[in-house]
Structure 1
Amino acid sequence: MDTQAIEIWLLDDDDIVRSTTAQWLRLSDFEVREFQDARTLLSQFHADLPCIIVSDIRMTPMDGLTLMAECLLQDPNLSFILITGHGDVDTAVSALRDGAFDFLEKPFDPNRLIQTARKAIQTRKAQLQLATQRQYLGDLHGLEETIIGQDEQMVRVRQQIQTFANIDTHVIVYGKTGCGKELVAKALHDASPRKDKPFIAINCAAIPSDLFESELFGHEAGAFTSAHKQRVGKLELASEGTLFLDEIESMPFSMQIKLLRVLQENQLERIGSNQTIHINLRVVAAAKQDLQNMADFRQDLFFRLNVSQIHLPELRHRGSDIPLLFEHFCRHAIEERGGEFKPLSPIDLETLTLYGWPGNVRELRNVALRYALEANTSVAKILAGYQAQEQINTQSPLPLSVKVQEYERSLIDACLRQQKGNIQHVLEELQLPRRTLNQKMQKYGLNRGDYLD
């Protein structure tokens, strides 16, 4: 883990203890800033700083607990670690309820300090990332409101959309199921001079082969047995606008030559008619695999469509965008259906990052909707439910570490619910030290107040 991105602010009024502790941390590649008194540290602190604080409790004139309260007032998400003498353990345990990340009892093992600091930095990084994402989501404008993402691949996709929109050529959009190919096609249309004209979408895989020609070209009344009235085809409806052909690789081979002729001549005839209809349309085709290497896809049609290409990455290759999109979908669901946004716990963030997302953005949106609208749930719990119902590709299972943590979370949640938030009874039933329970509740985003009568 890169520990240099976030500093450790170390506070102790004992010069020898402070310098020795700082040396231990620096030998483990941490960046450390030393402070001798709390007021000096507080004068330099403000919200959203890339730092954690490690502070002694017993100091004058401002002690560590007062400093923690002041810092958490400015930044409730700050990771604050307390160092305490034997007589202050009860006070430090109480401080955990007030927002402390952890405490170390003197004399402490340097390795314990290093492990605790790494966890605190990991938590701080995740929190700062979420804060940055919220700011990004709040500042969305233009194309970014539709094609959301800070990943460099998505920045390039937006640049391509802006470039291709005004060229008015055919485009092939490549991407796996659920990556947002139709969203990109609509964005191309909306950014083009054709934006005030029709955008017509067809899923080629959903049309029976015997109805394909009628769907595209239309027909006259009486053209065949079931043709009781005239029908205008999708090609004609899309004239002057954009025709989106999703899963074009599923188009029957016999239809491909007919589509090619329309694109070459800019005209068509309805089934059962000899009248030529002139059209002017742009085609955006979407495919899950390279059309040029498909034996049952006409190469002349491929070359006609392949003027420009846009490749959409799979969601698992957009790691930094996953929490961002998840929060966006959650907030959108809450705006539409009501409710309150539930901050993601560290285990939820870990699950979002580790899971493979075989259903890509579409699957992420569905999980976010469930998370936003269901009380007392977690990302891992929702995904585990999907897999149990075989609703998703089981070749992308939840990692073992996530399954173990979700099981542990569910046990603590059930016990808190059964004991109606009585912490002492929970400690006795689970046979856990008070400090361990506090740490796990913080880790899993479990709040005692949610279980009280």
Structure 2
Amino acid sequence: MTNSLRVRLIDDDDDLRMAQRQMLDIAGIEIEDFPDARSALTGLDRDYRGIVLTDVRMPGMDGIQLFRHIHAMDPDLPVILLTGHADVDMAVSALHAGAYDFLTKPIAGDVLTASLRRALATRALVLENRRLRQVGDDAALAHPQLMGDSPAMVHLRDALTRVSEAQSDALIIGPSGAGKSLVARAIHRQGPRRSKAFVTLDCTNTTDTGLEAMLLGQQPALGARHPRSAGLLEKAHRGILCLEDVTVLPQAAQIRLLNLIEAGEYWPAGTAAPRPLDIQIIATANHDDPAAFHQGLYYRLSRAVLRVPPLSERMQDIPALFRSFLQTAADRLSRGVPPLTDLVMARLSAHPWPGNLRELQAFAEHHILGLTPNTTQEPQDRPPLPDMVAAYEAELIRDALRECQGHATEAMSRLGLPRKTFYDKLTRHGIRPADFRT
């Protein structure tokens, strides 16, 4: 998508502007150039498919005034300022006000193209996120793994919404495979930062020595032709940085991480000045154990704690989840959805699902491919037949209550059960009709 975007170049020096245009044409970057800021505003709006590269000192409207005009119209449209050394303080001030970058003249071609390509990639992401919202916020935000009417999931979705709206830092805890990363991405999709980047740091693959370079970027070796690489803080600015499995980071790395994100600014590798840092931190962990954290980092992350329940605590959600996984697998594999046999339904209700969502997804694919329902379970681990029958009976009762929106009389009529028998079964299975009322 980046290749279809362009750079709007503004410079009142005709010779310099033409030289820059030729250099960028050779680099494969599409350019449209203007001799002054006023003419460059023509056709520039929130839907502009590109970025702006402008000189600072120009007659009439200068580059700083142009940036302010553009930023008021669309703060997500990257503006890069070309400055002389005398204008650096002015450019730094604009950077803190929201300018994407500033570069001092004379500028090397590879440095200029690298900065432009990063800005183009940022703009491409913004436009794509806007397109997704236009085709339907509900479709973009919905996530089938987070569906369910169990009390635990209703509470989780409510907490997720409040965290996303408040742009609060958060710690998401839960067992492996329960969907912690899905919750983190849902916070991003539903919050004000959804048009910005969602950047992930896998802490299990991070070393003490490598953390600094991952966060701040890397400056190429002296004489190298490759431009510097942007760090995760630069990529996540105004967006979200997700720290996966944060408790595996050593204490020293946690302290350094805390210092960087609390400073309010950072110094990217290879740059001439610090940059402001506006970031929302979301971390995931298998447990909420303060002993596994540096104290300051724990207090920062635990401003909001979201607990993702295992499937064993939301058994009533499993049939709907399984049907969703079946349809997804069928679409991907270009197969029809086979009928759900009594044996499959009994397994859904009786199996403890220690692998959580991942295990349930794998079972759905086995079913689509026509493999035996017990492929993922050793025979000696299968529950006794009476337990499977009881679990299947409980699920049929839940289905009836779900369809009848918790009306017990209508549900017992659908099931063909006398009142006393129906209520005896509710007590035996721990089912409350009130949990199914809308």
Question: What TM-score results when the alignment is normalised by the length of structure 2?
Answer: 0.53
User: SS at the partner of 2:178?
Assistant: coil
Which residue is 1:181 aligned to?
180
Instruction: Provide the C-alpha distance between the structure 1 equivalents of 2:161 and 2:252, rounded to a whole number of angstroms.
Output: 34
The within-5 A match list for 1:246-395 is 246-271=244-269, 275-294=273-292, 297-372=293-368, 374-375=369-370, 377-380=371-374, 382-384=375-377
Instruction: Assess if the C-alpha contact under 8 Å between 2:140 and 2:189 holds in 1.
Output: no
- Map Cα deviations across residues 272-298 of structure 1 (whole Å, 9 max, x no partner): 76732221110111110114132xx20
The within-5 A match list for 1:153-164 is 153-164=152-163
Q: Does 1:398 align with 2:382?
A: yes
Instruction: Provide the C-alpha distance between the structure 2 equivalents of 1:284 and 1:234, rounded to a whole number of angstroms.
Output: 14
% identical equivalent positions: 26
Gaps of 5+ in 1: 1-139, 389-393, 406-453
Alpha-carbon spacing, 1:226–1:251, altered in 2? closer, same or farther (3 Å): farther
Structure 1 residue 246: Cα displacement: 0.8
Structure 1 residue 329: Cα displacement: 0.3
Which residue is 2:416 aligned to?
none
Instruction: Assess if the C-alpha contact under 8 Å between 2:198 and 2:242 holds in 1.
Output: yes
Alpha-carbon spacing, 1:207–1:403, altered in 2? closer, same or farther (3 Å): farther
User: SS at the partner of 2:376?
Assistant: helix
The within-5 A match list for 1:62-211 is 144-146=142-144, 147-211=146-210
Instruction: Assess if the C-alpha contact under 8 Å between 2:170 and 2:301 holds in 1.
Output: yes
Instruction: Assess if the C-alpha contact under 8 Å between 1:218 and 1:233 holds in 2.
Output: yes
Structure 1 residue 141: Cα displacement: 6.4
User: SS at the partner of 1:244?
Assistant: strand
- Map Cα deviations across residues 174-194 of structure 1 (whole Å, 9 max, x no partner): 111111111111110111111
- Map Cα deviations across residues 291-320 of structure 1 (whole Å, 9 max, x no partner): 4132xx201111011111110101111111
Instruction: Provide the C-alpha distance between the structure 1 equivalents of 2:196 and 2:219, rounded to a whole number of angstroms.
Output: 24
Which residue is 2:81 aligned to?
none
User: SS at the partner of 2:153?
Assistant: helix
Instruction: Provide the C-alpha distance between the structure 1 equivalents of 2:225 and 2:170, rounded to a whole number of angstroms.
Output: 33
Alpha-carbon spacing, 1:367–1:210, altered in 2? closer, same or farther (3 Å): farther
Amino acid at match of 1:263: I
Instruction: Provide the C-alpha distance between the structure 2 equivalents of 1:192 and 1:265, rounded to a whole number of angstroms.
Output: 23
- Map Cα deviations across residues 337-358 of structure 1 (whole Å, 9 max, x no partner): 2111112211211112221212
Amino acid at match of 1:355: H
Instruction: Provide the C-alpha distance between the structure 1 equivalents of 2:210 and 2:224, rounded to a whole number of angstroms.
Output: 11
Amino acid at match of 1:383: T
- Map Cα deviations across residues 18-45 of structure 1 (whole Å, 9 max, x no partner): xxxxxxxxxxxxxxxxxxxxxxxxxxxx
Instruction: Provide the C-alpha distance between the structure 2 equivalents of 1:353 and 1:149, rounded to a whole number of angstroms.
Output: 15
Instruction: Provide the C-alpha distance between the structure 2 equivalents of 1:312 and 1:404, rounded to a whole number of angstroms.
Output: 26
Structure with greater Cα Rg: 1
Instruction: Assess if the C-alpha contact under 8 Å between 1:199 and 1:241 holds in 2.
Output: yes
User: SS at the partner of 1:166?
Assistant: helix
Instruction: Assess if the C-alpha contact under 8 Å between 2:346 and 2:388 holds in 1.
Output: no
- Map Cα deviations across residues 144-193 of structure 1 (whole Å, 9 max, x no partner): 54421121111111111111111111011111111111111111011111
Alpha-carbon spacing, 1:221–1:358, altered in 2? closer, same or farther (3 Å): same
Alpha-carbon spacing, 1:332–1:199, altered in 2? closer, same or farther (3 Å): same
Instruction: Provide the C-alpha distance between the structure 2 equivalents of 1:315 and 1:155, rounded to a whole number of angstroms.
Output: 14
- Map Cα deviations across residues 118-137 of structure 1 (whole Å, 9 max, x no partner): xxxxxxxxxxxxxxxxxxxx
Alpha-carbon spacing, 1:177–1:363, altered in 2? closer, same or farther (3 Å): same
Instruction: Provide the C-alpha distance between the structure 1 equivalents of 2:205 and 2:382, rounded to a whole number of angstroms.
Output: 31
Instruction: Assess if the C-alpha contact under 8 Å between 2:238 and 2:279 holds in 1.
Output: yes
Alpha-carbon spacing, 1:346–1:226, altered in 2? closer, same or farther (3 Å): farther
Instruction: Provide the C-alpha distance between the structure 2 equivalents of 1:403 and 1:161, rounded to a whole number of angstroms.
Output: 35
- Map Cα deviations across residues 332-387 of structure 1 (whole Å, 9 max, x no partner): 11122211111221121111222121211111112212211x12x3322x213xx5
User: SS at the partner of 2:166?
Assistant: coil
Question: What TM-score results when the alignment is normalised by the length of structure 1?
Answer: 0.51
Amino acid at match of 2:376: L
Structure 1 residue 196: Cα displacement: 0.4
Amino acid at match of 2:171: I
Instruction: Provide the C-alpha distance between the structure 2 equivalents of 1:246 and 1:226, rounded to a whole number of angstroms.
Output: 33
Structure 1 residue 229: Cα displacement: 4.6
Structure 1 residue 270: Cα displacement: 3.4
Structure 1 residue 226: Cα displacement: 11
Structure 1 residue 235: Cα displacement: 1.5
Instruction: Assess if the C-alpha contact under 8 Å between 1:174 and 1:288 holds in 2.
Output: yes
Alpha-carbon spacing, 1:319–1:404, altered in 2? closer, same or farther (3 Å): closer
Amino acid at match of 2:382: L
Instruction: Provide the C-alpha distance between the structure 2 equivalents of 1:226 and 1:258, rounded to a whole number of angstroms.
Output: 29
- Map Cα deviations across residues 97-133 of structure 1 (whole Å, 9 max, x no partner): xxxxxxxxxxxxxxxxxxxxxxxxxxxxxxxxxxxxx
Which residue is 1:444 aligned to?
none
Alpha-carbon spacing, 1:192–1:239, altered in 2? closer, same or farther (3 Å): same
User: SS at the partner of 2:358?
Assistant: helix
Which residue is 1:438 aligned to?
none
Instruction: Provide the C-alpha distance between the structure 2 equivalents of 1:258 and 1:404, rounded to a whole number of angstroms.
Output: 52
Amino acid at match of 1:211: G
Gaps of 5+ in 2: 1-137, 390-438
